[in-house]
Structures are given as C-alpha cells and as structure tokens.
C-alpha cells in the first residue's frame, strides 16, 4: 500500500447476493491495489466469506488483485454462476413452450 500522506483516491467496493448487497465507499492512498480495497472494505468480515475465492473486476472488467486503482473506480467481486446463461435460457424456453402446449423440441 502507498505511504501515508500520499494523495488519496475515492472508490467503491461492491458485492451482491440474491438477498443482500454490499457497497462501501472508501478513500485510499494513491497507488492502492484491488486487494488493498477489498481488505479495507471489511467485506470478508461482514459477509463471512472467502473473498480470495471470488473473481474481481473494476467496472465489470476482470482484473488481477494487484491492479492499481484510480479515482472513481468501482471494485466488484463476482460470485460463481450457478448455471451457464445459455443453459438457463434454453430451460426457460422449454418451460414456456410447454405452458403454451407446444413440443419444446420442434
């Protein structure tokens, strides 16, 4: 982490689950990394989860934990998908076809 007295930057750390969300605004020293922001946010303690096991990004773009942060960045932690999006869409289409009385295979 950067030295004390260095220029500060404002950023956010975000994480969401189906029934709760976490959004924390932070000020860190210029030169701070994604890992620094996650540690400073208190997310791991508040949600009792292993943040090291989650994918991370800045504004929806995957980054490494040693990526340097800039003013206004939003660090996001991503839960693993429970189902492939294409598979989920296929299943919804099949259910919809069955409700309409059609064969989903046609």
Sorted by sequence, the CB contacts under 8 Å of residue 67 that are 6+ apart come out as 33, 34, 58
* Helix residue ranges, H only, 1-84: 34-41, 43-47
Q: What percent of the chain has pLDDT over 90?
A: 60
pLDDT cut 70: percent of the chain above it: 91
Average pLDDT, the chain: 88
- Inform me whether the pLDDT recorded for 3 exceeds 60: no
pLDDT > 90? residue 68: yes
May I ask the CATH architecture of the domain 8-80? Answer: Roll (3.10)
Which residue is associated with the tokens 């620094």? 36
pLDDT digits (tens, 9 = 90+) for 20-37: 999 999 999 999 999 999
User: pLDDT confidence of 94, banded at 50, 70, 90?
Assistant: confident
């Amino acid at each position: 982490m950067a030295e004390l007295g260095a220029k500060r930057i404002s950023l956010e750390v975000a994480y969401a689950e189906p029934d709760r969300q976490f959004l924390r605004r932070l000020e860190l020293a210029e030169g701070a990394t994604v890992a620094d922001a996650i540690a400073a946010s208190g997310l791991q303690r508040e949600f009792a989860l292993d943040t090291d096991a989650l994918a991370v990004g800045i504004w929806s773009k995957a980054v490494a934990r040693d990526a340097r942060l800039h003013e206004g960045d939003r660090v996001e932690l991503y839960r693993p998908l429970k189902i492939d999006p294409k598979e989920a869409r296929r299943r919804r289409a099949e259910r919809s076809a069955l409700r309409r009385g059609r064969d989903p295979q046609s």
